[in-house]
Structure 1
Amino acid sequence: MLKDIAVFAGRLCPSARKHASRLVAGLTALALAITPVPALAQAPTPKGPPLLRDTETEQLLRDYTRPILRVAGLEKQNIQVAIINDPTFNAFVADGHRIFVNYGALLQSETPNQLIGVLAHETGHLAGGHLSKLRTQLAQAQTQMIVAMLLGVGAMVAGASAGPNSGAANIGAAAITAPQEVIRRNLLSYQRQQEENADRAAVKFLNATQQSAKGMYETFQRFTNESLFAARGADPYAQSHPMPAERVSALAELARTSAYWDKKDDPALQMRHEMMRAKVSGFMERADTVYRRYPASNTSLPARYARAIASYLHGDPRSALAQIDGLIQAQPNNPYFYELRGQALLEGGKPAEAIAPLRKAVAMTNGAPLIQILLGQALVASNNKAYTDEAIQILRGALGREGEVPLGFSHLAMAYGQKGNYAEADLASAQAAYLRGDAKTARELAARAKTRFPVGSPGWVKADDIVAAKMPGQK
């Protein structure tokens, strides 16, 4: 259809042709922008959001969201919180099954309540079915735009037939652009209403779980102060969210009526939150930034945690291990300190020494699959054939629960290779390539695996599925 419009444009007078060519480009971009995007959860691809994985942080986020999801009626919907590798403060929902939150939001939220408020707001979007409703609105808007476009193009063609000086072609262009603006504003108004509804739902969920909405208010208030100057003179109807000051004012009026407004976070939960922020800082920020945020004069456990991570990543491995041992001495029942010690040893080229602390971390977390994968990696990297069968068993079990970890399949392939089971090694390598979005390599390895498995066996069927499957990102 856009091709036909371009042909018509070639027949118009210069003025009308200019309007039409701009129109084709604008409508093409608009069509791409409002076409619903496939759910990200359906296929892990390199084109999706860059995600971060960490057992400790994910467990804390589950603890934050569990009561909110329960009162929202979503407890059995397997809603997950995914952490995006982005330092800015943001959170959103995109597929109905995951709440995406930037690590910047984790780092910048000073209290559990602030982050819980953000998660409650996003849960409000899920509970309200806002994604599916927005897709319906987008589809309706797309149809309206197509109709307006065809009517306007028809008017331009008629104007061209009437002569270059008739002005009818310009009227046709106006007949297209005016409805577009109305439709765009209607969509933005609908989105603003969804945001306001999510705010109200969040306060409702927080009240139902006997939590304060003050943290949510504090977060929005901070953004109001930061964006006040930039928002002056802006067209409020051109904003995809309510104007910050208006939004915060409405939220404050609603939230202050709660009996839980002044309720504080539990000290133990606040400590877990501080430990999470320290971990995020240690792993994601530059070493000099970490040391400024957590100077040596700060002897708190979170500060020591952040400095130990930064030291292992950027400094002296011996000093890092000494600092980690000090953390373990302070909290001998903290599994994540043992995980950190094992990771530091593994990445420091000492996989055999990493096995013991990682075993302890796995036992203390009741078999957390991400830590199991780390343990499996250490067992394989030790090059001790006595560990091969155990590595295969651990990795297969972990990947059965966490099936979208390419690195886990890569280590499983190595373990099978050590055992001489090349059919399973090829299949695991193909699965790793598939998850990375490497279509060519995945098909080649899966095809080779098929030649090594008995026809019709479970391994052969899995390999055949990869050969026949559409790769992530393909249509």
Structure 2
Amino acid sequence: MTARWLRFAAIAAASLALLSRPAAAQQILRDAETEAFMADMSAPLVQAAGMEPRNVQVLVINDPNINAFVAGGQYVWVHSGLIAAADNVNQVQGVVAHELGHIEGGHVIRYGEGMKEATGITLLSLVLGAAAIAAGGAEAGMGILGMGQQAAMGKFLAFSRAQESSADLAGARYLSKAGVSGKGSLEFFKKLQNQEYRLAIPQDDSYGRTHPLSGERINVLREVYTVDPAWDKPMDPKLEARFERIKAKLVGFVSEPSQTLLKYPESDQSLPAHYARAYAWHKSAYPDKALAEVDALLAAAPHDPYFLELKGQVLLESGKPADAIPPLREAVQLTNQPLIATLLGHALIATENDANFAEAEKVLRNAIARDRENPFAWYQLGVVYEHRGDLPRAALATAERYSMMGEDQMALRSADAAMQGLKPGTVDYLRAQDIAMVSRAAVEQKRKKR
């Protein structure tokens, strides 16, 4: 897992699902356990920043680079590569605190201010340069143009560095207020500094960069963090244990199985290692080995909802949907998580047993009520409607799905088809009408651009 234009990738029904966001050309990893962990980990920081935790989401993107960013709204996007590179939960908290500083500072909105100033310098240099050229001073005119572009870029880069420094200090303030140590923040900046060394980035001057050099940031923040009362406060052991699980899970899902098995060899009998290997074996199409790892997890924690979810996923995607239903039912009962409920709905439908379709509709409708922005849930609900002969609502579910995926033409066709069979004035009819109106406007806009 918010504004998500999502579509499921090859492993569409996976509990750890890979989704694409066409607008940002990014792939979002949606997973019930990961999203719950990110929410709990960041909640004290969000509150310290004066924001409401339920309105802020920290989501993971499938990208091996060490990065995190904000891009509008109250959403923090963290790359899977950053989680894999982090040594502990405190380091991730430091990064999230920094990104919250960008949100509180309105830096995405103010980005236009920096661009405006830089553009003003560029336009002025164009006017002066053109005047010089017209007066016969071609060489002088070209010099003015070149200096103007350089000055504009320098102005914008300085603006960007100022925003980054502001977010650093804001993040330090949130960590302090939340009673979270800044050690992880400094440790992570040191990781970035080592990366800069490997890339042979000069360490004497940050001019010409969008971010201050990591060494500069470390020197400033060290003075702030080391005198803070929370500096020597230990990490929450339960939160750290959850982080180790999440990290192993992500590594198992996004990495090549051979790499996962090197990082988490059979000799490692810890819960995170079993977790990572379960995904590695499942990706390699060895369901028996994957289930053996899951059973080891359940032997240690028989009613852990996320271990039950994984068992259901492996069974479902190994062609045993009926066997997947009991563990998934229990996982839904324990968590009420819409992503897990969607997986249960898929398993019920995949049995092709008519007796299971009523339950599938119930769990899918409940899942969508709590998370409307899950295209795969809409797809499954459409299958249920079509199975019972309710073609207008099947078309409406399809319209919802295509609308989230950014497929405006298909969303429009499906919404129009839904309205043909729905009673005017009903909630479903009005929803189909809304999708049709928005999709039609988007289609017309694309047509004008072409």
Give TM-score scaled by structure 1 length. Answer: 0.85
Spell out the pairing of 1:354-433 with structure 2 (5 A cutoff): 354-365=324-335, 367-433=336-402
Matched, 1:97 2:77: no
Paired amino acid for 1:329? A
Once the 2 structures are TM-superposed, how far is the Cα of residue 154 of structure 1 from its aligned partner?
4.2
Match of 1:83 in 2: 60
Spell out the pairing of 1:24-39 with structure 2 (5 A cutoff): none
Could you tell me the percent identity over the aligned residues?
37
Spell out the pairing of 1:57-456 with structure 2 (5 A cutoff): 57-75=34-52, 78-156=55-133, 158-159=134-135, 166=136, 168-228=137-197, 230-232=200-202, 236-365=206-335, 367-456=336-425
Please give the alpha-carbon distance, in whole angstroms, between the structure 2 residues aligned to 1:194 and 1:439: 36
Aligned CA distance change for structure 1 residues 42 and 304 (closer, same or farther; 3 Å): closer
Per-residue deviation, residues 286-343 of structure 1 (Å, max 9, x unmatched): 1111110001111111111111221122142122222212211111231100000111
Per-residue deviation, residues 106-137 of structure 1 (Å, max 9, x unmatched): 11111110110111111111122222222222
Point out the more displaced range, 71-80 or 416-425. Answer: 71-80
Please give the alpha-carbon distance, in whole angstroms, between the structure 2 residues aligned to 1:287 and 1:43: 29
Per-residue deviation, residues 255-291 of structure 1 (Å, max 9, x unmatched): 1112222222122222111111110111111111111
Once the 2 structures are TM-superposed, how far is the Cα of residue 43 of structure 1 from its aligned partner?
5.4
Number of equivalences: 427
Please give the alpha-carbon distance, in whole angstroms, between the structure 2 residues aligned to 1:233 and 1:278: 34
Paired amino acid for 1:351? P
Paired amino acid for 2:118? A
Aligned 8 A contact 1:338 1:357 in 2: yes
Aligned CA distance change for structure 1 residues 458 and 266 (closer, same or farther; 3 Å): closer
Superposed CA RMSD in Å reads 2.0
**Structure 1: gaps spanning 5 or more residues:** 1-39, 160-165
Point out the more displaced range, 69-78 or 213-222. Answer: 69-78
Aligned CA distance change for structure 1 residues 397 and 142 (closer, same or farther; 3 Å): farther
Aligned CA distance change for structure 1 residues 462 and 225 (closer, same or farther; 3 Å): same
Aligned 8 A contact 1:41 1:95 in 2: no
Matched, 1:461 2:423: no
Once the 2 structures are TM-superposed, how far is the Cα of residue 381 of structure 1 from its aligned partner?
1.4
Once the 2 structures are TM-superposed, how far is the Cα of residue 233 of structure 1 from its aligned partner?
7.2
Once the 2 structures are TM-superposed, how far is the Cα of residue 209 of structure 1 from its aligned partner?
1.5
Point out the more displaced range, 65-74 or 454-463. Answer: 454-463
Please give the alpha-carbon distance, in whole angstroms, between the structure 1 residues aligned to 2:442 and 2:358: 31
Aligned 8 A contact 1:434 1:471 in 2: no
Per-residue deviation, residues 333-377 of structure 1 (Å, max 9, x unmatched): 311000001111111111121111111011111x11111111111
Aligned CA distance change for structure 1 residues 103 and 253 (closer, same or farther; 3 Å): same
**Structure 2: gaps spanning 5 or more residues:** 7-20
Give TM-score scaled by structure 2 length. Answer: 0.90
SS, match of residue 100 in structure 1 = strand
SS, match of residue 200 in structure 1 = helix
| Rg comparison, structure with higher value | 1
